Amino acid sequence: MNKSVISNGFPNWLTEWLEAQKVPLWGAADLKDFHTPLDQSGKKYPFAISFVIPMNPKIMASIQKGPNQEYADEYVRVNKHINELSTALAAKILEKNFQSKPLAASVRTDTVNIKGDFPQKTAATRAGLGWIGRHCQLITRQFGSWVRLGTVFTDIELPCGPAIEKDFCGKCKRCVEACPAKALKGNQWYPGLPRKEILDVRACDKWKKKNYFRFHKGHNCGICSSVCPYGLKVLKKSSD
């Protein structure tokens, strides 16, 4: 549990479960102002538990010139772990007589607009886990953007946030310069900024399918994340 993010007020069973699963960073997000999935009674889920699972730093640093099979395998491994955790956590919440719904990792349910049922990054920023970088990915202080995200919607009244509402990228544009698809706009994120103002998602998708189709049919790239200074700091620490 990250004490800089998590405050008092969480049910003991929840903190103990997440600690037992060795989830290194998590929090709760107030989503009452957002369009979330509906529970069994037809009501929107007002809250979500957001968590991150780190990627292997050495693997992430190895893809600055493009993805490789080791990265593709790591991507699958971490997503599988997240889905297992999300499903188990949702079941645990149901045992406590609350509503819950896990959000699958990296699943496109809207192939036209290239997005899922709900932006995992919105839950993460609202939970105070990090901010959105110029590469349109969550950046955490602890692991940089070398993470995958998990989200479980719930109706449990939880102590949320505080939400992060600014970025901490400064003038850095390494990700923008490294993007081979030229899909990154270079704009700084703030809550409510449309994704299209940060990322040309179709240009990104087209490049990946053309050049990296052998890695999950063009679903993997990661170059922009691999050059992020916040991630490279993690690599340095792990090497010390």
pLDDT band at 1 (very low <50, low <70, confident <90, very high): very low
Q: Helix or strand or coil: residue 237?
A: helix
Per-residue model confidence (pLDDT) at position 108:
72
Q: Is the pLDDT of residue 223 over 90?
A: yes
Do residues 131 and 125 lie in contact, with contact meaning Cβ atoms separated by under 8 Å? yes
Range scoring the smallest mean pLDDT among 35-44, 100-109, 152-161, 171-180: 100-109
4 has a pLDDT exceeding 80:
no
Condensed to tens digits (0 to 9), the pLDDT of residues 166-200 reads 999 999 999 999 999 999 999 999 999 999 999 99
Cβ proximity of 216 and 126 under 8 Å: no
Give residue 109's pLDDT.
73
Mean pLDDT for all residues in the chain: 93
Q: Where are the beta strands (DSSP E) in 14-172?
A: 25-30, 47-54, 100-103, 131-132, 138-139, 147-154
Q: E-assigned strands of the chain? A: 25-30, 47-54, 100-103, 131-132, 138-139, 147-154
Do the Cβ atoms of 96 and 13 come closer than 8 Å?
Answer: yes
Cα 120 from Cα 91, distance rounded (Å): 19
Closest listed residue to residue 132, CA positions, set 77, 179, 86, 190: 190
CA distances from 63 to 14, 39, 157, 224, 225 (A): 36, 40, 41, 9, 9
| Cβ count near 228 (within 10 Å) | 24
**143 or 237, higher pLDDT:** 143
For residue 236, what pLDDT is reported? 81
What pLDDT is attached to residue 7? 42
Q: What pLDDT score was predicted for residue 116?
A: 82
Is 13 or 5 the better-scoring residue by pLDDT? 13
Please report the pLDDT score of residue 203 as a whole number: 97
Which residues are bridge partners to 54 per DSSP?
147
Q: Give residue-wise pLDDT tens across range 62-97.
A: 999 999 999 999 999 999 999 999 999 999 999 999
Residue pLDDT, tens place only, 111-148: 767 778 899 999 999 999 999 999 999 999 999 999 99
Higher pLDDT, 30 or 108: 30
